[in-house]
Structure 1
Amino acid sequence: MPVVLVHEGPTLTQERYEETVRRLTGGRGPLEKPADWPVEGLLVHTAGQGPNGFRVVDVWESEEAARRFGEKLLPVLQDVGITEQPNLYPAHTFVSA
């Protein structure tokens, strides 16, 4: 069952997001396709400035895949100064083009 990961908060800025991406990819550049992620299972990723700050939304094929990503992500978040934890919940509906 797909799960949704939503990450936002005062310490998640565009600059810190970009630094996190740089570290997750080993400096290869922006994340443009699921194969760019350090683990398998990503279905959708989007990030952008919202009315309450910078927000990242992912859809993962399973909670297990999201947790594997979290094992790589959380140490990087701590290192770049992002203190909010992502929210993870089961997707009720998932439609892909």
Structure 2
Amino acid sequence: MAVVMTFGWPEITPELYDTVRKKVRWEEEPPDGCLMHVAWFAADGFHVLDIWESEEHFGRFIATRIEPVLKGELGVESDPEPEFFPLHRRFVAPGVSGAA
């Protein structure tokens, strides 16, 4: 069952996010099971909302592609606390596609 995943992560800056995105290349090489990714910055820091095929898909992506770069190469010490919710419905407006 598809899930909505969301978290906030105050330690992540726009520069750090862009560095990880370029190194991991998830837009060029999409992770298995990721259906949508939205990221933004607010007064309280970095936020993400994703749709995944399952929690397990998200966990594998974090363990195999994100953590080696974010924690291994870049030294980030904190962790987000993701929350998962069953996806009830997804709508994509006609003509909307692609990254960025």
TM-score w.r.t. length of structure 1: 0.73
2:44 counterpart residue number: 52
User: Root-mean-square deviation (CA), in Å?
Assistant: 2.2
Partner of 1:18: 18
Which of residues 39, 63, 84 in structure 1 aligns to 2:79?
Answer: 84
Question: Larger radius of gyration, structure 1 or 2?
Answer: 2
Quote how far apart the aligned CAs of 1:5 are.
2.7
Find the aligned partners of 1:7 and 1:82 in 2 and give their Cα distance: 16
Partner of 1:4: 4
| Identical columns (%) | 28
Structure 1 alignment gaps of length 5 or more: none
1:68 equivalent in alignment to 2:60: yes
Letter in 2 for 1:60: W
| TM-score between both structures, scaled by the size of structure 2 | 0.71
4+ residue segments displaced more than 3 Å: none
